């Protein structure tokens, strides 16, 4: 998977609203994928500041993504370790980041950037072993996880990948702050944010999602925060691991990071990254168009609750690659399971 990809185009339309489209006729995988080899990393948790070790290990088809807290015994005791499936039903907290918890209450924080990397690299099945309560923040983006996945390599498995097709619009929120999903041919996302700070102001971005557009246009966008918020979090014992090494920090109208931004609109692109990660908790790739306006993890999770609460709003489908684009074509439909 260490293919050298051509740069993708950014097409401007309307009021300088970037539409990020796939350029290459990259076939999306129609078979499930896992890693070829296990791979290991260490890092610190954004909130705990504690060092954690993490191993991404191959898993059998139809496993999905499963987190294993190697520092916590499962109910029933040794040698079993606590497992938490990466699923929207297990989201326990969305205030600062997306937190998962299993039925025994074992929690794991800040899963969204890693989940986004897995979706972007089309990894369906993975066992993620971690010896602490928080996924390492790395540089605040998904790019280090993409690099790990590329180093380990991915491989197709014999099972067909299924996707979740959105059949009718669902929405959560109000006029100003909302998340919506509506039917579409492929998976695309749009986001808009609006801050008083002149460093951010109003930003809109739309992306036609595929592995290439994700890596080139979304994966490197870092999380961000305002200095006064970070000071308040620190006073509350949070964001202990946060620094200019793993976040864009804004003070008033200025970006404090010496190297500036990775994209002129890095802020809204990070919101797209978060949405990709949160929506990956659906458990399978989505076919639909997502729109987010001034919202975050809470709205994204509630949106999945809305979608799955209505059996007529979605269905399982199998896929084959479109002849000439990165998008998928629907080819067959199975009843909702």
Cβ at position 300, least distance to Zn ion in Å = 11
Beta carbons within 10 angstroms of residue 268's beta carbon: 23
Residue of 274, 290, 298, 325 interacting with Zn ion (CB under 5 A): 274
Cβ at position 319, least distance to Zn ion in Å = 28
Cβ at position 98, least distance to Zn ion in Å = 9
Tokens of 258: 């010496």
Distance CA 173, CA 185 (A): 24
Range in contact with Zn ion (rule: CB under 5 A) among 54-62, 220-228, 238-246, 298-306 = 220-228
DSSP 8-state class, residue 313: G
Distance CA 140, CA 255 (A): 15
Cβ at position 113, least distance to Zn ion in Å = 6
Which residue out of 90, 212, 289, 297 is catalytically annotated? 297
CB 120 within 8 Å of CB 23: no
Is there a catalytic annotation at residue 297?
Answer: yes
Instruction: Give the three-state DSSP class for 316.
Output: strand
Cβ at position 327, least distance to Zn ion in Å = 26
134 lines the binding site for Zn ion (CB under 5 A): no
223 lines the binding site for Zn ion (CB under 5 A): yes
Pick between residue 165 and residue 274 the one whose CB is nearest to Zn ion.
274
Cβ at position 274, least distance to Zn ion in Å = 4
301 lines the binding site for Zn ion (CB under 5 A): no
Q: For Zn ion, what does the binding mask look like between residues 151 and 190, x meaning CB under 5 A?
A: ----------------------------------------
Range in contact with Zn ion (rule: CB under 5 A) among 30-38, 67-75, 131-139, 219-227 = 219-227
Cβ at position 224, least distance to Zn ion in Å = 8
Question: Which residues share a beta bridge with 51?
Answer: 44
Pick between residue 139 and residue 182 the one whose CB is nearest to Zn ion.
139
Instruction: Give the residue from 29, 64, 58, 65 showing the smallest Cα distance to 152.
Output: 58
CB 314 within 8 Å of CB 166: yes
Tokens of 54: 């993490």
Pick between residue 84 and residue 247 the one whose CB is nearest to Zn ion.
247
Instruction: Give the residue from 324, 271, 268 showing the smallest Cα distance to 300.
Output: 271
Range in contact with Zn ion (rule: CB under 5 A) among 25-33, 61-69, 157-165, 271-279 = 271-279
Distance CA 89, CA 301 (A): 9
Pick between residue 218 and residue 319 the one whose CB is nearest to Zn ion.
218
Q: How far is CA 233 from CA 49, 91, 144, 169, in A?
A: 13, 22, 25, 36
Distance CA 11, CA 93 (A): 36
Q: Tokens 């190297």 correspond to what residue?
A: 259
Pick between residue 115 and residue 152 the one whose CB is nearest to Zn ion.
115
Q: For Zn ion, what does the binding mask look like between residues 240 and 259, x meaning CB under 5 A?
A: --------------------
Pick between residue 67 and residue 314 the one whose CB is nearest to Zn ion.
67
Please measure the distance between the N-terminal and C-terminal CA atoms of the chain and give it in whole angstroms.
Answer: 32
Residues in the chain, total: 337
Pick between residue 161 and residue 215 the one whose CB is nearest to Zn ion.
215
Question: Which residues share a beta bridge with 108?
Answer: 100
Active-site residue set: 297
Question: Using CB under 5 A as the criterion, which residues of the chain lie in contact with Zn ion when the complex forms?
Answer: 223, 274
């Amino acid at each position: 998977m260490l293919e050298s990809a051509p740069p993708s185009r950014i097409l401007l339309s309307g009021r300088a609203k970037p539409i990020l489209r796939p350029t290459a006729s990259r076939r999306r995988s129609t078979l499930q994928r896992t890693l070829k080899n296990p791979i290991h990393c260490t890092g610190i948790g954004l909130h705990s500041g504690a060092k954690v070790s993490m191993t991404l290990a191959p898993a059998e088809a139809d496993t999905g993504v499963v987190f294993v807290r190697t520092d916590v015994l499962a109910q029933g005791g040794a040698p079993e370790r606590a497992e938490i499936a990466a699923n929207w039903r297990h989201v326990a907290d969305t205030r600062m980041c997306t937190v998962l918890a299993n039925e025994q209450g074992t929690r794991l924080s800040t899963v969204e950037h890693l989940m986004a990397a897995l979706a972007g690299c089309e990894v369906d099945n993975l066992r993620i072993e971690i010896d602490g309560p928080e996924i390492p923040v790395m540089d605040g983006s998904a790019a280090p996880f993409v690099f790990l996945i590329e180093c380990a390599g991915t491989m197709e498995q014999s099972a067909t990948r299924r996707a979740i097709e959105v059949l009718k619009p669902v929405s959560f929120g109000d006029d100003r702050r909302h998340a919506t999903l509506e039917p579409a041919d492929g998976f695309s996302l749009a986001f808009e944010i609006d801050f008083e700070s002149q460093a951010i102001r109003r930003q809109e971005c739309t992306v036609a999602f595929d592995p290439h557009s994700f890596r080139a246009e979304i994966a490197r966008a870092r999380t961000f925060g305002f200095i006064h918020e970070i000071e308040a979090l620190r006073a509350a014992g949070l964001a202990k691991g946060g620094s200019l090494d793993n976040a864009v920090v804004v003070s008033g109208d200025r970006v404090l990071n010496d190297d500036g931004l990775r994209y002129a609109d890095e802020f809204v692109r990070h919101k797209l990254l978060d949405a990709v990660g949160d929506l990956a908790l659906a458990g399978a790739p989505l076919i639909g168009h997502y729109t987010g306006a001034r919202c975050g993890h809470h709205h994204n999770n509630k949106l999945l609750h809305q979608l799955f609460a209505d059996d007529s709003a979605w269905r399982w489908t199998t896929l084959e690659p479109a002849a000439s684009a990165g998008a998928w074509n629907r080819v067959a439909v199975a009843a909702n399971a």
